[in-house]
Structure formats: structure tokens, C-alpha cells
Amino acid sequence: MKASIRILPLAIILAMLSLTSSARSADEDTPLGEAMDAIAKAYKALGTELKTPDPARKDAYVKLAATIRDEAVKCIDLVPAKISAMPEAERPQILKDYKTDMNKFAETAGVLKIALGEAKWSDADAAMKSLKEDKSSGHEQFKMEE
């Protein structure tokens, strides 16, 4: 009797722990989630810098754009959690769509890199806007709802 009283709270704690881990966001700690975090960090830093572009910082901008592009290239071969959780028959088409969109995103990041290298700030702004639109559409279609 005494032992079961002691075990019960432990069982409750263990049950709660397993609930919180399954309630954790699906993209956390996945290679895709990590690549996205790197993209987000570089994109945010670039957005802040490009409000007042400084030609002397051009090399740093190019590096940030290269991070966005390189991480996006990695993402092309990763499978979003949302797609893994779909019925098998639906996966090939949506995976194809995801790869197409991620390819386009990586290409635009390449365009951004070139524009920054040439100090063409308005071209860079246009590429940044396009990346932002890709993000909205990509998250809407392929990211698991929180």
C-alpha cells in the first residue's frame, strides 16, 4: 500500500513528461528546424543592416546571404515533419512541391548574394521581399501547425 502511494506521484510525473514531449512543436531539433533557425538568424540580421546599407559592410552582407542560400540548399533534401505525418499516398506530390519551392527560395538567395556583392541595394531589397513571400507560402503549405 505504502509503495503504491509513493509510486503514484512518480507515475503522474512520468505521464506528464511524456505528454509535454509529444506536445512539443514538431519542427524542434529536427535538421530542417535547425537549418530554418540559421536562415531566420541571417535573414533578420540582413534585414536590420539593409535599412541603412553601408558599402563598407558589403562582405558581411554577402556572407549572410550565402548562409541563407547554403542552408536552403540543405533543406531541399530534408522532409518537413508535416509531410512525414501525411498518408503515404499523398507524400510524393507534396514533397515534389516542397522541393520546387525550396529550390526557388535557394535561387533567390543566390540572386540576393549577387546583388549585395555588386552593392545593388534596391535589387537586394526586392530579393529580400521575395524571400519573405516564399517564407509565408512555404510555412502555410509545409509547416506543421503549432
Residues that bind ligand HEM (CB under 6 A): 25, 27-28, 30, 32-33, 36-37, 39-40, 43, 80-82, 98, 101-102, 105, 131-132, 134-135, 138-139, 142-144
Name the DSSP letter for residue 144. P
The minimum distance between CB 115 and ligand HEM, in angstroms, equals 16
Q: How far is the CB of 104 from ligand HEM (least distance, A)?
A: 8
C-beta closer to ligand HEM: residue 24 or 120:
24
Do residues 109 and 64 touch, judged by C-beta distance below 8 A?
no
Nearer to ligand HEM, 64 or 102 (CB): 102
In sequence order, the 6+-apart residues with CB closer than 8 A to the CB of 43 are 64, 68, 128, 131
Helix %, strand %, coil % for the chain, to 5? 80, 0, 20
